[in-house]
Each structure stands twice: as structure tokens, then as C-alpha cells.
Amino acid sequence: MSKGSFPRAPRRAGLSGRAGGPTPLIVALVALVAAGLVGWLLWDASGGAADGAGHPVAATSAAAKAASPSGPSAPSAAASRPASGRPSPARSGDGGTASPGPSAGAGAGVTDDEAPRADGPLKGKVVLVDPGHNIRNSEHTAEIDRSVDIGTGRKECDTTGTSTDAGYAEAAFSLDVAHRLRTILRNQGAKVVFTHDGERPYGPCVTERAAIGNKAHADAAVSIHADGSAVGNRGFHVILPALVKGGAADTAPIVGPSKELGARIAGNFVRVTGSAPSNYIGGGTGLDTRGDLGGLNLSTVPKVFIECGNMRDPQDAGLLTDPAWREKAAQGIADGITDFLRG
């Protein structure tokens, strides 16, 4: 999620953004994450399957595998890192190009031409999926660097995102996981709206990403990312909106439901992927709260960001570039959204 490909200093924001003890929801999440980690350790002790980095992973259900494409292969580890420090454009087949079928409307996002399953458990629900960044942002630095109003201040329209040392771009990763997530949610009966599907020359700006979810009246929204932190910083974390009010930003109506959505996603992400919560953000809960992200500040629907891992750590990068692990990541996010929407 960090701009360019340079690691950023770890943030250590509180879970609620305010002083005081943990809420019952956070206590419940800690228990859920702990249970997932116990299962992870038992899986390891019993000689369970391992991913390419030698870490145990949970098995994906046969139904989920049947519903989702196996996906493209990751770039070779021998690929060169972009000389500019910005992610290089996605190569054919790495998830960075638009999938055929969806149609876009101005300011309305990208809707799926394929109808959701008529009898699915999420029938009638709308989910906004926001693939972080855009693979061509690095070609439009003037446009994405212009500042926009996020209610509590001004920030860049968008950023390039980060990449692995081998050059696999965060934007390609996020779009690939978004495609997998859309397939799973569609088979659950949900209507899925994308903020973009790689069809735009850059962006959209963070303000428009929020507006698309608001206009769709999404029942839940998730923005997919991967972090760009220091080597040794590992694991995922879910970013929740802080309580902010200023200009067009007023998160009071969505803070509670967004926290619940984030807790459900975090717990299911541990269970399905076998990945541990971040060891550098969130105090082991897998949750972080921020008030400086326009995509959250300007949202009027329950929304969270997920940083699926750290692209700058070789072990996390091994997972993020593995198509089988990305399928598990999409399944974990989908299960969290489904749990949230079904109550």
C-alpha cells in the first residue's frame, strides 16, 4: 500500500483511535484470532501442507476451488526490480489486466455482466470491491500526485503502491485477488461492484473510490492491498475507519459496523490462509485504526482495507506471489464478508 517501492516506518495506532480499554468486539476478535493461531500451530505439528515459503496453510474447500479460477502464475523470482523504484507494468497473465465482460459507467464503478447465483445466501446484497492502486499509475504521476480533499485534510489522488523485490506489483496482486473474490461472492448470490478493473489509465482517486461504494449503496466494502514495510515485518492486518468528522467526512454511522466487518474478515483470514496477524501493527489482533485514508473517511457504507501481507519481506512475498495462496486470501475475505452480511 505504501507509495512507490520504499518501505515505510511501521505505524502503531490504537485499535479504537481513542483512549480506554478494549471493546467486547475486540476481545471477541482476539479470542477468534487466537483460536485460529492454535489451529495453525496444530496443523504445523501434524505435518500439514506447506506453502512455497515453508509455512503451513489451511486447505481451501473443494467447492471454493471449483468456483474460482486457478489463476496465473507468479513472476519468476529472477525478474529484475524496476530501476525507477516504482512497480513495472503487469505482464500478461499476472492479474494486472482487466478481465473480459464487466462494463463501466462514469462514477458508478464496474459491474459484473455475469449475474449472481439466484438462490445464493447473499442474494440481494451488494459488495464493493476496491482493488488497491492501478498498474498504470506510475505512467501518470502528475495526475495521481494532485491533492484531493479527504474531509480531514488533503492527500494524493492515488499512489503507485509497492512491489516485491522481484517486481510483482501490489496493483497486480490486488486486482488478481479482487477477481477471485468476485467469483466467490457471485456464487454466493451477491452483486459485486468494482471501483476499477484495470480499464482506466490511472486511479481512480481515493475520493472516487469512496463515492463509488456510496453510490452503489454497498452493504459491505473492502479495499485490497499489500504492505511495503521492512524485512522481518510479516503478516496481514485489517484497517478500520477512525471516528472522524470534518468537511465531507463523517464516519460516525459506519465505525461500528466497519469494526465488525473487519473483525469477521481478520478471523476468517487467519482460518483460511494460515497466515498470522501482523507482528508490527495491531498488537497481534490483526486490526489497525486510521483516520488519514480518504477511502475510509469519505465512505458512508461499512468499509475496511486489508493489507494481505508485506511485499518487502521475502517470506510474505513468497505467499503473495503464489496463486494458490491468493485463492485462499480471496476465500478468507469472502468468508468474512459473508459472516458479516448474514449476521
Average pLDDT over residues 311-340: 98
Structural domain includes residue 61:
no
Q: Which residue has the cell 517470506?
A: 315
Structural domain includes residue 62:
no
Give the residue, 35 or 74, on which the prediction is more confident: 35
* Cα dihedral sign, 120-124-127-128: positive
Give the residue, 76 or 288, on which the prediction is more confident: 288
Active site residue 307: yes
pLDDT at 77: 32
User: What would the pLDDT profile of 65-79 be if each residue is shown by its tens digit?
Assistant: 333 333 433 333 333
Structural domain includes residue 132:
yes
CA dihedral defined by 154, 159, 164, 170, rounded to 10 degrees?
Answer: 110
C-alpha cell at 215: 453510490
Pick from 40-49, 111-120, 156-165, 302-311: least confident: 40-49
User: Whole domain around residue 150: which residue ranges?
Assistant: 24-46+103-342
Pick from 106-115, 164-173, 271-280, 286-295: least confident: 106-115
Structural domain includes residue 70:
no
pLDDT at 96: 36
Q: What confidence tier does 113 reach under pLDDT thresholds 50, 70, 90?
A: confident
Q: Which residue has the cell 489486466?
A: 97
Helix axes 323-342 and 170-187, enclosed angle (nearest 10): 50
Tally of structural domains, the chain:
1
Q: What confidence tier does 199 reach under pLDDT thresholds 50, 70, 90?
A: very high
Structural domain includes residue 210:
yes
Structural domain includes residue 89:
no
Average pLDDT over residues 182-186: 98
pLDDT at 8 over 70: no
pLDDT at 10: 37
C-alpha cell at 233: 515485518
Structural domain includes residue 87:
no
CA dihedral defined by 292, 283, 15, 216, rounded to 10 degrees?
Answer: 60
For residue 266, what is the domain's CATH number?
A: 3.40.630.40
Q: Among 4-13, 32-41, 139-148, which range has the highest average pLDDT? A: 139-148
Average pLDDT across the chain, whole number? 79
pLDDT at 31: 52
Nearest to residue 235, comparing CAs of 334, 156, 328, 306?
306
Which DSSP helix (H) or strand (E) runs through 32? Answer: helix 24-45
Q: Is the pTM of this model over 0.85?
A: no
Which residues does residue 224 pair with via DSSP β-bridges, in sequence order?
Answer: 131, 306
pLDDT at 13 over 60: no
Average pLDDT over residues 61-66: 33
Structural domain includes residue 183:
yes
User: What would the pLDDT profile of 321-334 be if each residue is shown by its tens digit?
Assistant: 999 999 999 999 99
pLDDT at 1: 66
Of 170, 208, 260, 307, the active-site residue reads 307
